[in-house]
Amino acid sequence: MSFQVISPVDGQVLREIPAWDEATLDQALADVSAATPAWAQTPVEERARLMARAAEVLRANEERYARIMTTEMGKLFRDARAEVQKCAWVCEYYAEQGPRFLADEIIESDAGKSYVAYLPLGTVLAVMPWNFPFWQVFRFAAPALVAGNTGVLKHASNVPESALAIEEVFREAGFPDNVFRTLMIRAGQVRQVIEDPRVQAVTLTGSEPAGRQVAATAGGQIKKSVLELGGSDAFVVLEDADLDLAVQTAVTSRFLNNGQSCIAAKRFIVVDAIDEDFLNRFQAAVEALHMGDPFDEATNIGPMARTDLRDELHKQVTDSIAAGAVPVTGCEIPDRPGAWYPPSILDRVEPGMRAYHEELFGPVAIVIHARDEEDALRIANDSPFGLGGSIWTGDSERGERLARRMQSGSTFVNGLVKSDPRLPFGGIKHSGYGRELSHHGIHEFVNVKTIWIK
């Protein structure tokens, strides 16, 4: 068996990378397990120094790593370069802040001395997706490794070269052997890795069904898990919004990464007072996007990662149109090889349609009309997901008041929803649990241990 690198641009098989057999997997887990105690005892300052070195390796190889991502999953090359830079940033952030986040916390009690120590758990399995093939991994690995854990990665099967390149980063940075390993295994082997006693915790970024399976397996083993799952983020536009800024950000948020982002704006909820004006401007901006070669700087949107994902997205669109949604632009598969789908808008989306209730993971924006502010907030919260969301208004206090009522892990007022190493990231409801990034993220995979001394 092997992993195939298939070009999203034309569907050609570019290369094949062998998958591991059971003996190779077992040996890798044994090697990581053997390396774990020494890494946990390594001073945090040394772990941080090596993470800073990982950032240097990333920056030195930016173009090569970016080219791997664009080739494997179709991301615009300029966006892939920016992704490598963001990975370097998160490494630098935890190199700088990690020792402070992990410092003992003195607690006054009836003891002569008492404090909380933040100690590593052991080996953490990361099950990661293809859409941000470097960033998703580094936002887990940087805090987890600085905290003294070892890491093993099961990456998406369509980005095997990215998976191997990430292991290379830590090796080139000088991390001890087997502190971080990429496991070249199939999805069907994830369960056995979670159940393996040499693995202490698991984190997954991916679909809701995958999250349910991982959570059930981890729970059955009483192992810590963190899940970042799908999202159907609301983009609420009120009557006093700056429409020029709102439309510009709407296009960026929906079609960034070729529409394949968990925290992309997906549901554009617009109050009746300005719905026609917003939709006209939005349509014009979307139709101005250029779909083409992801390596071409003139391209605004490239192909989707795989044809099966494109076909499932189109089925959601056509089912919604059959139920009464109105196609404004796009919404048809172009007659060309590869995983292409045009930037699209569906208007008049209502309850009962697939587009209303499901996540559309691709370049399709849905527009839902609301009577007023309260109706817009009701619609925003009428979703099984709760990852991110944004509110657009000329009154920042109004926006802040509504942001506190929006059911999501993060809400941005008059700004693009994005992840930032300084801020916690994660969702509620079917979007998962736990947090990544900030000091919250580094504390997810530690033993918060009380030390009491008389």
SS (H, E, C) 252-318: HHHHHHHHCCCCCEEEEEEEHHHHHHHHHHHHHHHHCCCECCCCCCCCCECCCCCHHHHHHHHHHHH
Phi, psi for 215 (deg, rounded to 5):
-60, -40
Q: How far is the C-alpha of 351 from the C-alpha of 125, rounded, in Å?
A: 38
**SS3 (DSSP) at 4:** strand
For the purposes of burial, counting CB atoms within 10 Å of the CB of 19, is it exposed (0-12), middle (13-18) or buried (19 or more)? Answer: middle
Q: Which residues contact 264 (CB under 8 A, 6 or more apart)?
A: 231, 233, 253, 254, 255, 256, 257
Report the candidate in 202, 147, 162, 151 with the shortest Cα–Cα distance to residue 67. Answer: 162
For the purposes of burial, counting CB atoms within 10 Å of the CB of 424, is it exposed (0-12), middle (13-18) or buried (19 or more)? Answer: middle
Question: Are residues 122 and 201 in contact, defined by beta-carbon separation less than 8 angstroms?
Answer: yes
Instruction: Give residue 302's identity as a one-letter amino acid code.
Output: G
DSSP-derived secondary structure letter, 189: G
Segment holding 370, helix H or strand E: strand 364-370
Phi, psi for 306 (deg, rounded to 5):
-145, 155
**SS3 (DSSP) at 377:** helix
Of the residues 87, 91, 262, 331, only one is catalytic, namely 262
Decide if 87 is catalytic: no
Q: Which residues contact 196 (CB under 8 A, 6 or more apart)?
A: 29
The token duo for 354 is 């697939």
Q: How far is the C-alpha of 259 from the C-alpha of 270, rounded, in Å?
A: 20
Of the residues 228, 358, 359, 436, only one is catalytic, namely 228
What is the Cα 227 distance to its own chain's centre? 10
Q: Report, as residue numbers or ranges, the catalytic residues.
A: 228, 262
